[in-house]
Protein backbone atom coordinates (compact mmCIF):
# COMPACT_ATOMS: atom_id res chain seq x y z
CA UNK A 1 0.00 0.00 0.00
CA UNK A 2 2.25 2.77 -1.12
CA UNK A 3 1.15 5.93 0.58
CA UNK A 4 2.32 8.88 2.55
CA UNK A 5 0.21 8.27 5.64
CA UNK A 6 -3.06 10.15 5.17
CA UNK A 7 -3.41 11.44 1.64
CA UNK A 8 -5.51 10.94 -1.48
CA UNK A 9 -3.52 7.89 -2.53
CA UNK A 10 -4.31 6.20 0.78
CA UNK A 11 -8.00 6.66 0.13
CA UNK A 12 -7.72 5.50 -3.49
CA UNK A 13 -5.98 2.29 -2.48
CA UNK A 14 -8.59 1.29 0.02
CA UNK A 15 -11.64 2.27 -1.97
CA UNK A 16 -10.23 0.10 -4.74
CA UNK A 17 -9.99 -2.99 -2.57
CA UNK A 18 -13.67 -3.79 -3.01
CA UNK A 19 -13.66 -2.71 -6.63
CA UNK A 20 -14.56 -4.83 -9.60
CA UNK A 21 -10.90 -5.80 -9.91
CA UNK A 22 -10.93 -7.59 -6.56
CA UNK A 23 -14.37 -9.05 -7.17
CA UNK A 24 -14.07 -10.07 -10.79
CA UNK A 25 -10.42 -10.60 -11.58
CA UNK A 26 -8.45 -11.72 -8.57
CA UNK A 27 -8.35 -15.51 -8.34
CA UNK A 28 -6.51 -16.68 -5.23
CA UNK A 29 -4.31 -19.72 -4.91
CA UNK A 30 -6.81 -21.37 -2.59
CA UNK A 31 -9.99 -20.93 -4.59
CA UNK A 32 -10.78 -20.19 -8.21
CA UNK A 33 -14.40 -19.53 -9.06
CA UNK A 34 -14.95 -19.12 -12.83
CA UNK A 35 -18.48 -17.81 -12.28
CA UNK A 36 -17.09 -14.72 -10.57
CA UNK A 37 -15.09 -13.95 -13.67
CA UNK A 38 -17.84 -14.73 -16.16
CA UNK A 39 -20.55 -12.85 -14.30
CA UNK A 40 -18.85 -10.05 -12.39
CA UNK A 41 -20.78 -7.40 -10.45
CA UNK A 42 -21.85 -4.14 -12.10
CA UNK A 43 -21.61 -5.77 -15.53
CA UNK A 44 -17.86 -5.03 -15.78
CA UNK A 45 -15.60 -7.63 -17.37
CA UNK A 46 -11.85 -7.95 -17.49
CA UNK A 47 -11.83 -6.96 -21.16
CA UNK A 48 -13.67 -3.74 -20.44
CA UNK A 49 -11.96 -2.94 -17.16
CA UNK A 50 -8.25 -2.65 -18.00
CA UNK A 51 -8.62 0.32 -20.28
CA UNK A 52 -7.13 3.21 -18.27
CA UNK A 53 -3.99 3.85 -16.24
CA UNK A 54 -6.12 4.33 -13.12
CA UNK A 55 -7.63 0.87 -13.52
CA UNK A 56 -4.18 -0.70 -13.84
CA UNK A 57 -3.06 1.29 -10.81
CA UNK A 58 -5.97 0.04 -8.73
CA UNK A 59 -5.13 -3.55 -9.59
CA UNK A 60 -1.49 -2.95 -8.68
CA UNK A 61 -2.37 -1.31 -5.37
CA UNK A 62 -4.45 -4.36 -4.50
CA UNK A 63 -1.18 -6.30 -4.52
CA UNK A 64 0.65 -3.71 -2.40
CA UNK A 65 -2.20 -3.70 0.11
CA UNK A 66 -1.94 -7.44 0.65
CA UNK A 67 1.31 -6.92 2.58
CA UNK A 68 -0.88 -5.69 5.44
CA UNK A 69 -1.71 -9.31 6.19
CA UNK A 70 1.94 -9.97 7.05
CA UNK A 71 2.31 -7.13 9.53
CA UNK A 72 -1.05 -6.10 11.03
CA UNK A 73 -2.42 -6.79 14.50
CA UNK A 74 -4.84 -9.38 13.17
CA UNK A 75 -6.80 -9.88 16.35
CA UNK A 76 -4.71 -12.87 17.40
CA UNK A 77 -7.27 -15.50 16.43
CA UNK A 78 -6.60 -18.63 14.39
CA UNK A 79 -8.46 -17.09 11.45
CA UNK A 80 -6.49 -13.82 11.54
CA UNK A 81 -3.27 -14.52 13.47
CA UNK A 82 -0.56 -11.99 14.06
CA UNK A 83 2.53 -13.25 12.25
CA UNK A 84 5.08 -11.61 14.58
CA UNK A 85 6.07 -14.89 16.33
CA UNK A 86 7.01 -16.45 13.01
CA UNK A 87 9.13 -13.46 11.98
CA UNK A 88 10.87 -12.95 15.34
CA UNK A 89 10.95 -15.96 17.64
CA UNK A 90 12.52 -18.64 15.43
CA UNK A 91 16.00 -17.12 15.59
CA UNK A 92 18.46 -16.53 18.41
CA UNK A 93 18.14 -12.77 18.85
CA UNK A 94 14.66 -12.36 20.41
CA UNK A 95 12.94 -14.29 23.19
CA UNK A 96 9.92 -13.82 25.47
CA UNK A 97 9.32 -14.75 29.07
CA UNK A 98 5.86 -16.22 29.58
CA UNK A 99 5.60 -18.50 26.55
CA UNK A 100 2.28 -17.74 24.81
CA UNK A 101 4.07 -18.23 21.48
CA UNK A 102 6.31 -20.97 22.78
CA UNK A 103 5.73 -23.36 19.93
CA UNK A 104 7.48 -20.89 17.60
CA UNK A 105 10.42 -20.22 19.89
CA UNK A 106 10.71 -23.84 21.05
CA UNK A 107 9.76 -25.41 17.69
CA UNK A 108 7.12 -27.45 19.52
CA UNK A 109 3.89 -28.55 17.91
CA UNK A 110 4.28 -26.70 14.60
CA UNK A 111 2.09 -28.79 12.32
CA UNK A 112 0.53 -28.63 8.83
CA UNK A 113 -2.76 -27.70 10.54
CA UNK A 114 -1.33 -24.73 12.46
CA UNK A 115 -3.28 -21.53 11.85
CA UNK A 116 -0.23 -19.37 11.25
CA UNK A 117 1.27 -21.91 8.86
CA UNK A 118 -1.88 -21.85 6.74
CA UNK A 119 -2.48 -18.10 7.05
CA UNK A 120 1.00 -17.05 5.91
CA UNK A 121 0.83 -19.44 2.96
CA UNK A 122 -2.60 -18.25 1.87
CA UNK A 123 -1.96 -14.52 2.20
CA UNK A 124 1.42 -14.69 0.47
CA UNK A 125 -0.04 -16.55 -2.48
CA UNK A 126 -2.85 -14.01 -2.66
CA UNK A 127 -0.23 -11.25 -2.97
CA UNK A 128 1.60 -13.30 -5.58
CA UNK A 129 -1.55 -13.93 -7.58
CA UNK A 130 -2.52 -10.26 -7.55
CA UNK A 131 0.95 -9.48 -8.83
CA UNK A 132 0.57 -12.10 -11.57
CA UNK A 133 -2.67 -10.47 -12.67
CA UNK A 134 -0.96 -7.11 -13.19
CA UNK A 135 1.97 -8.73 -14.99
CA UNK A 136 -0.39 -10.54 -17.34
CA UNK A 137 -2.51 -7.49 -18.10
CA UNK A 138 0.46 -5.18 -18.73
CA UNK A 139 1.91 -7.75 -21.14
CA UNK A 140 -1.41 -8.14 -22.99
CA UNK A 141 -2.28 -4.44 -23.22
CA UNK A 142 -1.87 -2.56 -26.49
CA UNK A 143 0.42 0.43 -25.74
CA UNK A 144 -1.09 2.53 -28.53
CA UNK A 145 -4.39 2.59 -26.64
CA UNK A 146 -2.91 4.83 -23.93
CA UNK A 147 -1.74 8.42 -24.02
CA UNK A 148 1.35 7.46 -22.01
CA UNK A 149 2.04 3.78 -22.62
CA UNK A 150 5.25 3.88 -20.55
CA UNK A 151 3.22 3.31 -17.39
CA UNK A 152 2.63 -0.30 -18.47
CA UNK A 153 6.31 -1.22 -18.11
CA UNK A 154 6.61 0.59 -14.77
CA UNK A 155 3.54 -1.20 -13.39
CA UNK A 156 4.95 -4.48 -14.67
CA UNK A 157 8.24 -3.79 -12.89
CA UNK A 158 6.44 -3.07 -9.63
CA UNK A 159 4.40 -6.26 -9.90
CA UNK A 160 7.53 -8.32 -10.66
CA UNK A 161 9.15 -6.92 -7.51
CA UNK A 162 6.10 -7.77 -5.39
CA UNK A 163 6.04 -11.28 -6.83
CA UNK A 164 9.73 -11.57 -5.94
CA UNK A 165 9.07 -10.41 -2.39
CA UNK A 166 6.34 -13.02 -2.02
CA UNK A 167 8.61 -15.74 -3.40
CA UNK A 168 11.39 -14.66 -1.03
CA UNK A 169 9.01 -15.21 1.89
CA UNK A 170 7.86 -18.56 0.52
CA UNK A 171 11.39 -19.85 -0.04
CA UNK A 172 12.67 -18.88 3.39
CA UNK A 173 9.62 -20.09 5.29
CA UNK A 174 8.43 -23.13 3.31
CA UNK A 175 11.40 -24.03 1.12
CA UNK A 176 9.64 -26.06 -1.56
CA UNK A 177 6.49 -24.00 -2.06
CA UNK A 178 5.12 -24.06 -5.64
CA UNK A 179 6.62 -21.56 -8.06
CA UNK A 180 3.59 -19.80 -9.54
CA UNK A 181 4.89 -17.54 -12.31
CA UNK A 182 1.62 -17.21 -14.21
CA UNK A 183 -1.89 -16.26 -13.31
CA UNK A 184 -3.92 -19.18 -12.00
CA UNK A 185 -7.25 -20.13 -13.48
CA UNK A 186 -9.68 -22.92 -12.75
CA UNK A 187 -7.63 -25.15 -15.07
CA UNK A 188 -4.14 -24.85 -13.57
CA UNK A 189 -4.54 -24.56 -9.80
CA UNK A 190 -2.82 -27.89 -9.09
CA UNK A 191 0.85 -26.92 -8.98
CA UNK A 192 3.72 -29.13 -7.69
CA UNK A 193 6.25 -28.20 -5.04
CA UNK A 194 9.31 -26.38 -6.30
CA UNK A 195 12.73 -27.99 -6.12
CA UNK A 196 16.02 -26.74 -4.71
CA UNK A 197 16.41 -23.01 -5.29
CA UNK A 198 13.70 -22.73 -7.97
CA UNK A 199 12.06 -19.85 -6.12
CA UNK A 200 15.35 -17.96 -5.84
CA UNK A 201 15.93 -18.54 -9.55
CA UNK A 202 12.54 -17.00 -10.27
CA UNK A 203 13.31 -14.03 -8.03
CA UNK A 204 16.63 -13.34 -9.76
CA UNK A 205 15.03 -13.57 -13.21
CA UNK A 206 12.13 -11.32 -12.23
CA UNK A 207 14.27 -8.65 -10.59
CA UNK A 208 16.77 -8.54 -13.44
CA UNK A 209 13.78 -7.79 -15.68
CA UNK A 210 12.12 -5.38 -13.26
CA UNK A 211 15.04 -3.14 -12.28
CA UNK A 212 15.53 -1.38 -15.66
CA UNK A 213 11.76 -0.81 -15.94
CA UNK A 214 11.44 1.06 -12.65
CA UNK A 215 12.05 4.75 -11.94
CA UNK A 216 14.99 5.82 -9.82
CA UNK A 217 12.57 7.55 -7.46
CA UNK A 218 8.96 8.73 -7.15
CA UNK A 219 7.36 12.09 -6.45
CA UNK A 220 6.14 12.71 -2.90
CA UNK A 221 2.56 11.58 -3.56
CA UNK A 222 3.84 8.15 -4.62
CA UNK A 223 6.54 7.79 -1.98
CA UNK A 224 6.85 4.16 -0.97
CA UNK A 225 6.22 2.60 -4.35
CA UNK A 226 8.83 0.20 -5.68
CA UNK A 227 11.75 1.90 -7.40
CA UNK A 228 15.00 0.80 -9.03
CA UNK A 229 17.10 0.85 -5.82
CA UNK A 230 14.56 -1.46 -4.17
CA UNK A 231 14.80 -3.93 -7.05
CA UNK A 232 18.59 -3.95 -7.01
CA UNK A 233 18.58 -4.25 -3.21
CA UNK A 234 16.35 -7.32 -3.23
CA UNK A 235 18.35 -8.73 -6.15
CA UNK A 236 21.54 -8.34 -4.10
CA UNK A 237 19.89 -10.29 -1.31
CA UNK A 238 18.50 -13.06 -3.52
CA UNK A 239 21.86 -13.61 -5.22
CA UNK A 240 23.78 -13.90 -1.95
CA UNK A 241 21.14 -16.29 -0.59
CA UNK A 242 21.30 -18.40 -3.76
CA UNK A 243 25.08 -18.49 -3.52
CA UNK A 244 24.81 -19.68 0.08
CA UNK A 245 22.49 -22.52 -0.89
CA UNK A 246 24.26 -23.60 -4.10
CA UNK A 247 27.90 -22.66 -3.54
CA UNK A 248 27.94 -20.86 -6.89
CA UNK A 249 30.64 -18.19 -6.62
CA UNK A 250 29.27 -16.35 -9.66
CA UNK A 251 26.18 -15.42 -7.64
CA UNK A 252 28.32 -13.54 -5.14
CA UNK A 253 30.02 -11.57 -7.89
CA UNK A 254 26.63 -10.78 -9.44
CA UNK A 255 25.34 -9.63 -6.04
CA UNK A 256 28.19 -7.14 -5.76
CA UNK A 257 27.36 -5.74 -9.20
CA UNK A 258 23.67 -5.49 -8.28
CA UNK A 259 24.59 -3.56 -5.14
CA UNK A 260 26.71 -1.14 -7.13
CA UNK A 261 23.63 -0.35 -9.22
CA UNK A 262 21.86 1.07 -6.16
CA UNK A 263 22.07 4.82 -6.64
CA UNK A 264 20.85 7.74 -4.56
CA UNK A 265 20.88 5.89 -1.23
CA UNK A 266 23.04 6.48 1.83
CA UNK A 267 23.07 5.75 5.53
CA UNK A 268 21.09 8.12 7.73
CA UNK A 269 23.28 9.92 10.28
CA UNK A 270 20.88 8.89 13.04
CA UNK A 271 20.50 5.12 13.39
CA UNK A 272 17.06 5.46 14.99
CA UNK A 273 15.66 7.17 11.89
CA UNK A 274 15.24 3.66 10.52
CA UNK A 275 12.69 2.78 13.22
CA UNK A 276 10.98 6.12 13.77
CA UNK A 277 7.46 6.73 12.47
CA UNK A 278 8.39 10.35 11.78
CA UNK A 279 11.41 9.58 9.57
CA UNK A 280 10.09 6.93 7.20
CA UNK A 281 11.09 6.47 3.54
CA UNK A 282 14.40 8.15 4.22
CA UNK A 283 17.71 8.00 2.37
CA UNK A 284 18.55 4.58 3.81
CA UNK A 285 15.22 3.01 2.98
CA UNK A 286 15.01 0.71 -0.02
CA UNK A 287 11.52 -0.65 0.60
CA UNK A 288 9.00 -0.33 3.43
CA UNK A 289 5.54 -1.51 4.29
CA UNK A 290 3.55 1.73 4.34
CA UNK A 291 1.57 1.53 7.59
CA UNK A 292 -1.29 4.03 7.84
CA UNK A 293 -4.57 4.82 9.51
CA UNK A 294 -7.71 4.15 7.51
CA UNK A 295 -9.59 7.34 6.50
CA UNK A 296 -12.54 6.64 8.79
CA UNK A 297 -10.65 5.13 11.70
CA UNK A 298 -8.35 2.14 11.67
CA UNK A 299 -9.82 -1.12 12.97
CA UNK A 300 -7.01 -3.67 13.41
CA UNK A 301 -9.54 -6.50 13.71
CA UNK A 302 -10.73 -6.10 10.12
CA UNK A 303 -9.01 -7.42 7.01
CA UNK A 304 -7.70 -4.77 4.67
CA UNK A 305 -9.70 -5.98 1.68
CA UNK A 306 -13.19 -6.42 3.02
CA UNK A 307 -16.19 -4.28 2.22
CA UNK A 308 -15.49 -2.06 5.21
CA UNK A 309 -15.38 1.29 3.40
CA UNK A 310 -12.60 3.09 5.20
CA UNK A 311 -12.16 1.40 8.59
CA UNK A 312 -10.20 -1.72 7.65
CA UNK A 313 -6.68 -2.29 8.92
CA UNK A 314 -3.91 -0.30 7.24
CA UNK A 315 -1.58 -0.41 10.22
CA UNK A 316 1.12 -2.59 11.69
CA UNK A 317 1.64 -3.92 15.21
CA UNK A 318 4.66 -3.36 17.46
CA UNK A 319 3.07 -4.09 20.85
CA UNK A 320 5.64 -6.76 21.68
CA UNK A 321 8.36 -4.08 21.46
CA UNK A 322 6.94 -1.77 24.10
CA UNK A 323 7.15 -1.79 27.89
CA UNK A 324 4.08 0.42 28.29
CA UNK A 325 1.50 -1.55 30.35
CA UNK A 326 -1.55 -0.48 28.38
CA UNK A 327 -3.98 -2.62 26.41
CA UNK A 328 -3.52 -0.47 23.33
CA UNK A 329 0.22 -0.96 23.19
CA UNK A 330 0.96 -4.31 24.75
CA UNK A 331 1.44 -7.72 23.30
CA UNK A 332 -1.81 -9.67 23.23
CA UNK A 333 -0.88 -11.29 26.54
CA UNK A 334 1.08 -8.41 28.01
CA UNK A 335 4.58 -9.81 27.57
CA UNK A 336 7.27 -7.51 26.17
CA UNK A 337 9.85 -9.36 24.09
CA UNK A 338 13.51 -9.39 24.99
CA UNK A 339 16.91 -9.53 23.37
CA UNK A 340 18.37 -12.95 24.21
CA UNK A 341 21.09 -13.50 26.82
CA UNK A 342 23.33 -14.75 24.01
CA UNK A 343 23.11 -11.57 21.96
CA UNK A 344 23.05 -9.26 24.97
CA UNK A 345 26.16 -10.80 26.50
CA UNK A 346 28.07 -10.68 23.22
CA UNK A 347 26.93 -7.34 21.79
CA UNK A 348 24.73 -5.62 24.39
CA UNK A 349 27.11 -2.71 24.90
CA UNK A 350 26.94 -1.66 21.25
CA UNK A 351 24.70 1.44 21.13
CA UNK A 352 22.50 -0.09 18.41
CA UNK A 353 21.40 -2.76 20.89
CA UNK A 354 21.89 -0.93 24.19
CA UNK A 355 19.68 2.01 23.17
CA UNK A 356 16.67 -0.28 22.72
CA UNK A 357 17.32 -2.62 25.69
CA UNK A 358 15.68 -2.12 29.10
CA UNK A 359 17.09 -3.40 32.40
CA UNK A 360 15.21 -6.70 32.04
CA UNK A 361 16.42 -7.02 28.42
CA UNK A 362 13.03 -5.95 27.04
CA UNK A 363 13.74 -4.78 23.48
CA UNK A 364 11.96 -1.70 22.14
CA UNK A 365 13.08 -1.28 18.53
CA UNK A 366 10.13 0.28 16.59
CA UNK A 367 8.16 0.56 19.85
CA UNK A 368 10.40 2.81 21.92
CA UNK A 369 8.73 5.89 23.37
CA UNK A 370 9.07 8.76 20.93
CA UNK A 371 9.50 6.57 17.86
CA UNK A 372 6.09 4.98 17.47
CA UNK A 373 2.93 6.75 16.30
CA UNK A 374 -0.33 4.99 17.08
CA UNK A 375 -3.51 5.32 15.06
CA UNK A 376 -6.43 7.22 16.53
CA UNK A 377 -8.47 4.06 17.02
CA UNK A 378 -7.17 3.55 20.54
CA UNK A 379 -6.36 -0.02 19.63
CA UNK A 380 -3.00 -1.80 19.22
CA UNK A 381 -2.36 -0.28 15.80
CA UNK A 382 0.80 1.57 14.78
CA UNK A 383 1.64 3.78 11.81
CA UNK A 384 5.35 2.96 12.09
CA UNK A 385 6.47 1.38 8.80
CA UNK A 386 8.19 -1.99 8.67
CA UNK A 387 11.54 -1.39 6.99
CA UNK A 388 11.59 -4.49 4.82
CA UNK A 389 14.90 -3.67 3.15
CA UNK A 390 17.47 -1.11 4.21
CA UNK A 391 20.60 0.07 2.46
CA UNK A 392 22.58 -1.10 5.50
CA UNK A 393 21.31 -4.65 4.92
CA UNK A 394 22.34 -4.51 1.26
CA UNK A 395 25.78 -3.12 2.21
CA UNK A 396 26.49 -6.11 4.45
CA UNK A 397 25.25 -8.54 1.82
CA UNK A 398 27.51 -6.90 -0.76
CA UNK A 399 30.45 -7.10 1.63
CA UNK A 400 29.74 -10.80 2.07
CA UNK A 401 29.56 -11.22 -1.69
CA UNK A 402 32.95 -9.55 -2.08
CA UNK A 403 34.58 -11.90 0.42
CA UNK A 404 32.96 -15.11 -0.82
CA UNK A 405 33.77 -14.33 -4.46
CA UNK A 406 37.42 -13.69 -3.72
CA UNK A 407 37.00 -9.98 -4.29
CA UNK A 408 38.47 -6.90 -2.67
CA UNK A 409 38.76 -7.54 1.09
CA UNK A 410 39.62 -3.93 2.03
CA UNK A 411 36.51 -2.75 0.16
CA UNK A 412 34.36 -5.27 2.01
CA UNK A 413 35.81 -4.23 5.36
CA UNK A 414 35.21 -0.59 4.51
CA UNK A 415 31.49 -1.27 3.99
CA UNK A 416 31.32 -2.77 7.48
CA UNK A 417 33.32 0.14 8.90
CA UNK A 418 30.87 2.65 7.45
CA UNK A 419 28.13 1.10 9.58
CA UNK A 420 30.32 1.07 12.66
CA UNK A 421 31.31 4.68 12.10
CA UNK A 422 27.66 5.70 11.74
CA UNK A 423 26.79 3.94 15.00
CA UNK A 424 29.68 5.58 16.84
CA UNK A 425 28.92 9.08 15.55
CA UNK A 426 25.23 8.74 16.32
CA UNK A 427 25.84 7.51 19.87
CA UNK A 428 28.29 10.35 20.48
CA UNK A 429 26.04 13.09 19.08
CA UNK A 430 22.99 11.80 20.97
CA UNK A 431 25.04 11.38 24.17
CA UNK A 432 24.12 7.75 24.62
CA UNK A 433 25.97 6.68 27.75
CA UNK A 434 27.20 3.36 29.16
CA UNK A 435 27.95 1.94 25.73
CA UNK A 436 31.04 0.79 23.88
CA UNK A 437 31.53 2.79 20.72
CA UNK A 438 32.24 0.55 17.70
CA UNK A 439 35.72 0.93 16.32
CA UNK A 440 36.84 0.43 12.73
CA UNK A 441 38.21 -2.92 11.71
CA UNK A 442 41.69 -3.14 10.23
CA UNK A 443 41.38 -2.92 6.44
CA UNK A 444 44.72 -4.74 6.14
CA UNK A 445 43.14 -7.98 7.42
CA UNK A 446 43.87 -10.67 4.83
CA UNK A 447 42.00 -13.70 6.20
CA UNK A 448 38.58 -14.04 4.47
CA UNK A 449 37.27 -16.18 7.35
CA UNK A 450 37.95 -13.38 9.82
CA UNK A 451 36.23 -10.81 7.63
CA UNK A 452 33.21 -13.07 7.15
CA UNK A 453 32.93 -13.40 10.92
CA UNK A 454 33.03 -9.60 11.24
CA UNK A 455 30.22 -9.32 8.69
CA UNK A 456 28.09 -11.96 10.42
CA UNK A 457 28.51 -10.21 13.76
CA UNK A 458 27.70 -6.83 12.23
CA UNK A 459 24.45 -8.21 10.80
CA UNK A 460 23.44 -9.38 14.28
CA UNK A 461 24.07 -5.94 15.77
CA UNK A 462 22.79 -3.76 12.93
CA UNK A 463 19.64 -5.80 12.22
CA UNK A 464 18.85 -7.16 15.69
CA UNK A 465 15.16 -7.79 16.19
CA UNK A 466 14.10 -6.78 12.69
CA UNK A 467 11.58 -8.89 10.83
CA UNK A 468 12.69 -11.53 8.30
CA UNK A 469 16.36 -11.16 9.16
CA UNK A 470 18.06 -13.35 11.77
CA UNK A 471 16.29 -16.69 11.20
CA UNK A 472 16.73 -16.37 7.45
CA UNK A 473 20.41 -15.59 8.01
CA UNK A 474 20.98 -18.55 10.33
CA UNK A 475 19.52 -20.97 7.81
CA UNK A 476 21.64 -19.74 4.92
CA UNK A 477 24.78 -19.78 7.08
CA UNK A 478 23.98 -23.41 7.83
CA UNK A 479 23.57 -24.12 4.11
CA UNK A 480 26.87 -22.39 3.33
CA UNK A 481 28.74 -24.34 5.99
CA UNK A 482 29.54 -21.28 8.14
CA UNK A 483 27.85 -22.95 11.10
CA UNK A 484 25.74 -26.03 11.77
CA UNK A 485 22.29 -25.79 13.31
CA UNK A 486 22.14 -29.57 13.71
CA UNK A 487 22.79 -29.66 17.47
CA UNK A 488 21.37 -26.28 18.45
CA UNK A 489 19.23 -26.27 21.58
CA UNK A 490 17.61 -23.63 23.77
CA UNK A 491 20.72 -22.91 25.84
CA UNK A 492 22.41 -19.52 25.90
CA UNK A 493 25.09 -20.71 23.49
CA UNK A 494 22.57 -21.45 20.76
CA UNK A 495 18.93 -20.36 20.43
CA UNK A 496 19.15 -18.81 23.91
CA UNK A 497 15.51 -19.04 24.94
CA UNK A 498 14.26 -17.57 28.21
CA UNK A 499 11.52 -20.20 28.26
CA UNK A 500 11.88 -23.20 30.55
CA UNK A 501 9.73 -25.63 28.57
CA UNK A 502 11.30 -28.39 26.50
CA UNK A 503 13.14 -27.26 23.37
CA UNK A 504 12.15 -29.43 20.42
CA UNK A 505 14.12 -28.20 17.41
CA UNK A 506 14.62 -31.03 14.88
CA UNK A 507 17.21 -30.79 12.13
CA UNK A 508 16.62 -30.51 9.21
CA UNK A 509 12.84 -30.71 9.68
CA UNK A 510 12.39 -27.35 11.41
CA UNK A 511 14.50 -25.40 8.92
CA UNK A 512 11.24 -24.90 7.04
CA UNK A 513 7.56 -24.82 7.91
CA UNK A 514 5.21 -27.53 6.73
CA UNK A 515 3.01 -27.02 3.71
CA UNK A 516 -0.51 -26.43 5.06
CA UNK A 517 -2.62 -29.57 5.24
CA UNK A 518 -5.48 -27.80 3.50
CA UNK A 519 -3.24 -27.22 0.48
CA UNK A 520 -2.11 -30.84 0.34
CA UNK A 521 -5.74 -31.98 0.55
CA UNK A 522 -6.75 -29.58 -2.23
CA UNK A 523 -3.77 -29.75 -4.57
CA UNK A 524 -3.46 -33.07 -6.40
CA UNK A 525 0.06 -32.16 -7.58
CA UNK A 526 1.41 -32.27 -4.01
CA UNK A 527 1.53 -35.82 -2.68
CA UNK A 528 3.76 -35.31 0.37
CA UNK A 529 4.77 -32.58 2.77
CA UNK A 530 8.18 -31.16 3.56
CA UNK A 531 10.39 -33.84 5.17
CA UNK A 532 9.50 -34.63 8.76
CA UNK A 533 5.93 -33.31 8.68
Model confidence band, residue 93 (pLDDT cutoffs 50, 70, 90): very high
Question: According to the model, what pLDDT value does residue 79 have?
Answer: 82
Question: According to the model, what pLDDT value does residue 329 have?
Answer: 62
Question: According to the model, what pLDDT value does residue 323 have?
Answer: 83
pTM: 0.93
- Please say if the pLDDT value at position 141 is more than 90: yes
Q: Report the alpha-carbon distance of residue 457 to residue 339 in Å, rounded.
A: 15
The mean pLDDT of the chain is 90
**H or E segment and range at residue 399:** helix 391-404
Nearest alpha-carbon partner for 169 in 234, 225, 260, 94: 234
Q: Report the alpha-carbon distance of residue 119 to residue 123 in Å, rounded.
A: 6
Give tens-digit pLDDT for 38-66: 445 566 788 889 999 999 999 999 999 99
Read out DSSP for 212-242? HHS-S---GGGTTS--HHHHHHHHHHHHHHH
- Please say if the pLDDT value at position 15 is more than 70: no
Q: Average pLDDT for residues 509-527, to the nearest whole number?
A: 97
Give tens-digit pLDDT for 147-189: 999 999 999 999 999 999 999 999 999 999 999 999 998 889 9
CB-CB contact of 382 with 318 (8 Å): yes
- Please say if the pLDDT value at position 33 is more than 60: no
Nearest alpha-carbon partner for 63 in 309, 387, 388, 289: 289
- Please say if the pLDDT value at position 226 is more than 80: yes
Spell 393-432 as b/e; 16+ CB within 10 A means b. bbbbbbbbbbbbbebebeebbbbbbbbbbbbbebbeeeeb
Model confidence band, residue 328 (pLDDT cutoffs 50, 70, 90): low
520, with CB counted inside 10 A (0-12, 13-18, 19+), is middle
Question: According to the model, what pLDDT value does residue 334 have?
Answer: 73
| 3-state per-residue secondary structure call for 412-466 | HHHHHHHHHHHHHHHHHHCCCCCCCCCCCCCCCCCCHHHHHHHHHHHHHHHHCCC
Instruction: Give the CATH architecture of domain 8-75+100-226+505-533.
Output: Alpha Horseshoe (1.25)
Considering only residues 43 and 381, tell me which one the structure prediction assigns the higher pLDDT: 381
**H or E segment and range at residue 288:** strand 285-289
Please give the share of the chain, as a percent, with pLDDT higher than 90: 78
Considering only residues 42 and 387, tell me which one the structure prediction assigns the higher pLDDT: 387
Give tens-digit pLDDT for 452-466: 999 999 999 999 999
Please give the share of the chain, as a percent, with pLDDT higher than 70: 90
Least confident span in 51-65, 107-121, 299-313, 502-516: 299-313
Question: According to the model, what pLDDT value does residue 42 have?
Answer: 61
Question: According to the model, what pLDDT value does residue 30 have?
Answer: 38
Amino acid sequence: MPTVKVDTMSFRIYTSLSSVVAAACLLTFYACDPERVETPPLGVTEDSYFSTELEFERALFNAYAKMTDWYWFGGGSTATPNMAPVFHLMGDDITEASGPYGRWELFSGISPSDGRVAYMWEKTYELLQRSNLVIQKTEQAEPENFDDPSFLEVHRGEALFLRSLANFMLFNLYGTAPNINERLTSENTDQPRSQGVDLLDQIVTDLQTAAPLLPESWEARDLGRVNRPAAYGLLTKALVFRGNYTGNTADYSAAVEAFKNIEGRELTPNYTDNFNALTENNSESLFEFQASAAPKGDNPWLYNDGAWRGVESMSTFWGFYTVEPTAARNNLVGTPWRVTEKIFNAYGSDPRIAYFTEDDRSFTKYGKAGLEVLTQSGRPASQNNVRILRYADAMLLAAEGMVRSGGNLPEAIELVNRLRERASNWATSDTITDVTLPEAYDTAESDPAVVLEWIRAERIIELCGEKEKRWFDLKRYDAAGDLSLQNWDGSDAYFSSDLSAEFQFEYPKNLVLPIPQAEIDRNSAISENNPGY
